[in-house]
């Protein structure tokens, strides 16, 4: 620190105009050399932060100092709070700098590091979250941790741990030994040697256990906070549709409607925030994450196909408009997130300041329309948040508003469009939330799939253009010459060896893109990436896939991610990919692995079904008929377009407009006619030329 201050003084005297960055900041640490927006946010803390790398880890070992590992992400509200309270405080920094090698980690860049230390904190405290703060021995093994701490509690804890390490280090090492075993036990998946049996009754029983948690008033799960969990509702939508369960379908529609009406959906600018802090989807933590919006676009697109509910179509349209406007780079890549915080009118950083409204401002902007607007968006006690701010939330359907105010649907639509334009333009002049403009392969693949699903349902060529542009970005920027994927991209540089989630989501997205374009390069690339994962991620003991490559440096443990979360587990996505690829390429290894992986997790599914919804979706492929649809002939793409107007979740598509040697297409081309082949377990029905007849075969 003395050296930094000395250099600063020298520069201020003799380097005027040469380094404005240094002159503006009294402190600068090693994070100034990073590209992650989250790390750069901490580059001028008085804490001597280091990035997670071999040099930093070696430094801790050489100096025999404890490591203080603080993990967060750019749009995390409480990360910012702790930074302001503790990490910007020079007295707190003195304690940290004296006793620790301090390491800042962007959890989105290094989910492997985050996962290991999150497991540790959950074992130690029973819960986790971000910011995640851990103290580890010089060898990286954790001995203490938690999430957000107020300044006094933080300093007190650091002093106590430092004293214990100096006075009785053996106690910490003994504890680290026990905790290490606990962490490793979380990553163990035992090969299930029972015969793999996947039946409807198993899924039905799991759903029965799960439904006890349903909130049938406001949708979602019961509890004081609500996360969207798109994969949960995607599975429930599919199950309700395939089993004709009207009650379950009503519940799914209730949830999707309440989310679309809620403040968790940006009623003015489109796009969803990360989660709701209340049970009615009203007040979110206002950060907007790419992965949430990506999966919700896919979900609402399929829900529209089932219901033809224009609300769902509008959600997709407005969300993709937001993604295109705020989250898309010129090269087709997608950015990661928007911050929850921005400056309020007084210039103070405040959560949600960009999104909230006061009634006086609304009255001045909307004039004679205010009364109708206030009823529509609940500028009343129902929509009031705090500090006289309103978060816009809908409660009533359009039909209720129309009858109450004696107006037509067209008139209401026109007024709502006008309101949004007025408020959007005013809001756009406010201080905007910070953008995390790094690009992550896995999240891009999810958004790519979202665009593909929207194109499949709504046939908007702009959606397909965005999808193909992003797919090209991944293929030509993130896939290395050795066939592997990189995880991150920023400032023209592709970095960080990819994780299983990068491969699983990219393979899934490319398969989805193939199914709407019939461009075989996406199918071929998906297979190449799959074969790479078998070489570098496969665990021959459990027949599952590690989260990290065998080319990566060793951490405390090498996890196997298999429980679905806000993003499905990388192993569950991978298993679904293998199921499809086994059909496309008639590959027995793929087929056997998919079954084995699903069978491994089966014993846990019924007890915690909400954490296994993507696995349950895969299980439906075995428990119910699953169709291979091959469309071959000059008009294959036109017939595919017609076929996609119907929701058929239990199918895969293969197609070609000419001769093709794929197993599902070989010897099926006829230059005079385009045939549709519907097959189950390699047994095909007579080909048909009429799409409606093919759909009838798919519903038998």
Query: Would you state the pLDDT for residue 8?
Result: 31
Q: Is 452 within a domain? A: yes
Q: Is 246 within a domain? A: yes
Largest CA distance in the chain: 86
Same domain, 396 and 445: no
Residue 74 CA: distances (Å) to CA of 100, 104, 437, 487: 23, 12, 10, 17
Residue 518 CA: distances (Å) to CA of 132, 524, 589: 44, 11, 24
Q: What is the tally of structural domains in the chain?
A: 4
Residue 284 backbone dihedrals phi, psi, to 5 degrees: -90, 170
Residues 6+ apart with CB under 8 A from 662: 520, 523, 584, 585, 654, 656
Same domain, 171 and 288: no
Last residue of a domain, one of 186, 221, 245: 186
CATH number of the structural domain spanning residue 592: 1.50.10.10
Go through 532-555 and write b for each residue having 16 or more CB atoms within 10 A of its CB, e for each that does not.
Answer: bbeebbbeeebbbbbbbbeebeeb
Same domain, 321 and 460: yes
Q: Is 350 within a domain? A: no
Q: Is 687 helix (H, G, I), strand (E, B) or coil?
A: coil
Same domain, 209 and 333: yes
Last residue of a domain, one of 592, 623, 654: 623
Residue 61 CA: distances (Å) to CA of 54, 100, 166, 286, 322: 11, 11, 15, 40, 47
- What own/partner pairs with CB < 8 Å and gap ≥ 24 does 202-206 have? 202/602, 202/605, 202/606, 202/619, 202/623, 203/239, 203/616, 203/619, 203/620, 203/623, 205/606, 206/605, 206/606, 206/609, 206/612, 206/616
Q: Is 447 within a domain? A: yes
Predicted model pTM: 0.93
Q: How many CB atoms lie within 10 A of CB 305?
A: 21
Q: Which two tokens stand for residue 395?
A: 């409660």
- The 3 state secondary structure assigned to 287-317 is CEEHHHHHHHHHHHHHHHHHHCCHHHHHHHH
**Are the CB atoms for 643 and 518 separated by under 8 Å?**
no
- Please provide the DSSP assignment of 301-361 as one string: HHHHHHH--HHHHHHHHHHHHHHHHHSB-TTS-B--EE-SEEE-TTS-EEETTTT-B-HHH
Which residue in 434, 433, 436, 417 sits closest to 425, CA to CA? 417
CATH number of the structural domain spanning residue 126: 3.40.30.10
Phi-psi region of 674 (alpha: psi -120 to 50; beta: other; left: phi over 0): beta
All residue ranges of the chain with pLDDT < 70 are: 1-23
Same domain, 636 and 527: no
Q: Is 403 within a domain? A: yes
Domain coverage including residue 391: 355-429
Same domain, 151 and 262: no
Query: Would you state the pLDDT for residue 29?
Result: 96
Q: Is 639 within a domain? A: yes
Q: Is 595 within a domain? A: yes
Last residue of a domain, one of 623, 649, 665: 623
Same domain, 221 and 330: yes
Same domain, 493 and 572: yes
**Are the CB atoms for 602 and 192 separated by under 8 Å?**
yes
Strands (E), 117-244: 132-136, 142-146, 226-227
Query: Would you state the pLDDT for residue 654?
Result: 97
Same domain, 446 and 419: no
pLDDT tens digits along 406-429: 999 999 999 999 999 999 999 999
Q: Is 193 within a domain? A: no
Same domain, 534 and 565: yes
Same domain, 132 and 261: no
Same domain, 560 and 645: no
340: Cα within 13 Å, side-chain hemisphere:
22
């Amino acid at each position: 620190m003395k050296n930094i201050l000395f250099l600063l003084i020298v520069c201020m005297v003799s380097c005027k105009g040469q380094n404005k960055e240094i002159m503006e900041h009294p402190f600068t640490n090693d994070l100034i050399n990073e590209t992650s927006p989250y790390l750069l946010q901490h580059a001028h803390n008085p804490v001597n932060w280091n990035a997670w790398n071999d040099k930093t880890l070696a430094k801790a070992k050489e100096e025999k100092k404890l490591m203080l590992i603080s993990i967060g992400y750019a749009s995390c509200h409480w990360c910012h709070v702790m930074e302001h309270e503790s990490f910007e405080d020079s007295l707190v920094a003195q304690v940290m700098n004296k006793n620790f090698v301090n390491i800042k980690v962007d959890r989105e860049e290094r989910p492997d590091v985050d996962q290991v230390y999150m497991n540790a904190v959950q074992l130690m405290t029973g819960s986790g979250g971000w910011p995640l703060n851990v103290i580890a021995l010089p060898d990286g093994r954790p001995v203490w941790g938690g999430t957000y701490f107020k300044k006094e509690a933080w300093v007190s804890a650091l002093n106590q741990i430092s004293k214990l390490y100096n006075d009785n280090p053996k106690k910490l090492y003994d504890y680290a030994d026990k905790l290490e075993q606990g962490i490793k036990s979380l990553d163990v998946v035992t090969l299930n040697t029972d015969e793999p049996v996947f039946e409807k009754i198993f899924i039905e029983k799991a759903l029965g256990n799960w439904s006890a948690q349903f909130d049938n008033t406001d949708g979602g799960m019961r509890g004081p906070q609500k996360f969207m969990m798109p994969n949960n509702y995607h599975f429930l939508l599919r199950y309700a549709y395939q089993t004709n369960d009207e009650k379950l379908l009503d519940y799914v529609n209730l949830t999707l409607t309440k989310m679309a009406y809620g403040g968790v959906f940006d009623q003015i600018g489109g796009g969803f925030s990360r989660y709701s802090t209340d049970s009615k989807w009203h007040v979110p933590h206002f950060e907007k994450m790419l992965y949430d919006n990506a999966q919700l676009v896919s979900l609402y697109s399929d829900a529209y196909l089932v219901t033809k509910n224009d609300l769902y179509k509008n959600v997709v349209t407005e969300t993709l408009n937001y993604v295109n406007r705020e989250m898309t780079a010129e090269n087709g890549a997608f950015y990661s997130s928007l911050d929850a915080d921005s400056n309020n009118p007084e210039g103070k950083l405040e959560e949600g300041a960009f999104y909230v409204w006061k009634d006086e401002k609304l009255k001045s902007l909307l004039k004679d329309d205010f009364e109708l607007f206030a009823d529509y968006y609940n500028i009343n006690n129902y929509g009031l948040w705090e500090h006289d701010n309103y978060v816009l939330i809908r409660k009533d359907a359009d039909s209720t508003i129309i009858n109450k105010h004696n107006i037509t649907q067209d008139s209401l639509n026109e007024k709502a469009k006008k309101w949004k334009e007025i408020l959007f333009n005013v809001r756009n002049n406010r201080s905007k939330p910070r953008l995390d403009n790094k690009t992550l392969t896995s999240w891009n693949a999810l958004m790519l799939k979202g665009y593909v699903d929207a194109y499949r349902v709504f046939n908007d060529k702009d959606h397909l253009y965005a999808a193909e542009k992003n797919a090209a970005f991944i293929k030509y920027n993130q896939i290395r010459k050795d066939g592997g994927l990189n995880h991150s991209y920023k400032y023209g540089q592709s970095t960080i060896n990819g994780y299983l989630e990068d491969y699983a989501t990219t393979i899934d997205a490319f398969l989805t893109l193939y199914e709407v374009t019939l461009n075989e390069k996406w199918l071929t690339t998906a297979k190449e990436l799959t074969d790479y994962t078998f070489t570098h991620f496969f665990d021959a003991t459990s027949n599952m896939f590690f989260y990290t490559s065998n080319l990566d440096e060793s951490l405390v443990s090498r996890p196997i991610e298999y429980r679905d979360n806000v993003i499905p587990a990388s192993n569950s996505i991978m298993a679904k990919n293998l199921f499809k690829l086994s059909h496309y390429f008639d590959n027995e290894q793929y087929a056997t692995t998919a079954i084995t992986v699903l069978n491994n997790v089966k014993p846990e599914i019924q007890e915690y079904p909400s954490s296994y919804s993507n696995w349950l979706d895969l299980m439906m492929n075995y428990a119910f008929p699953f169709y291979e649809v091959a469309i071959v002939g000059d008009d294959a793409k036109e017939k595919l377009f017609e076929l996609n107007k119907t929701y058929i979740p239990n199918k895969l598509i293969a197609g070609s407009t000419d001769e093709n040697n794929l197993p599902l297409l070989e010897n099926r081309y006829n230059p005079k006619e385009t045939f549709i082949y519907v097959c189950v377990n390699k047994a095909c029905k007579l080909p048909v030329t009429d799409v409606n007849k093919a759909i009838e075969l798919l519903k038998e």
